[in-house]
Amino acid sequence: GAVVSQHPSWVICKSGTSVKIECRSLDFQATTMFWYRQFPKQSLMLMATSNEGSKATYEQGVEKDKFLINHASLTLSTLTVTSAHPEDSSFYICSARVLQGANLISPLHFGNGTRLTVT
């Protein structure tokens, strides 16, 4: 159980175009999803926390107008990289937590990630 599906796995786009990445929880409802970015040889860095039905919470230094997050349902969150530039080339990965009653100490369940290359 607790499967997270992320699409696409990889995408190549031209500079100036926008790219949408989808993250779906297949067998559970995720009121909160997390979007991470990883540059080569670095750790996963939290970009934003996506909350169903409300605005996402962005980490310091992450441009909310560039990285648009929509969490319209309990099973789907999307990240749109707008007007992509080569420096946006990175590995993006989403995750969600299955909340177990009052116990919030549950692990994250991750998608497979998306490798974005902007040319």
- Per CB under 8 A, residues contacting other proteins are 4, 6, 32, 34, 36, 41-46, 49, 93, 95, 97, 104-113
Of residues 53 and 100, the one with the C-beta less far from other proteins: 100
- Which residue is it, tokens 């107008």? 65
If the CB atoms of residues 45 and 74 are measured against other proteins, the closer one turns out to be 45
Q: How far is CA 15 from the centre of its chain?
A: 20
Q: What whole-number distance in Å separates Cα of residue 113 and Cα of residue 44?
A: 11
In eight-state DSSP terms, residue 87 is G
Minimum CB separation of residue 112 from other proteins in Å reads 5
- Name the minimum Å distance from CB 89 to other proteins: 19
Q: Which is nearer to other proteins, 11 or 82 (CB)?
A: 11
Q: Are 17 and 84 in contact (CB under 8 A)?
A: yes
Which one-letter amino acid corresponds to residue 112?
A: N
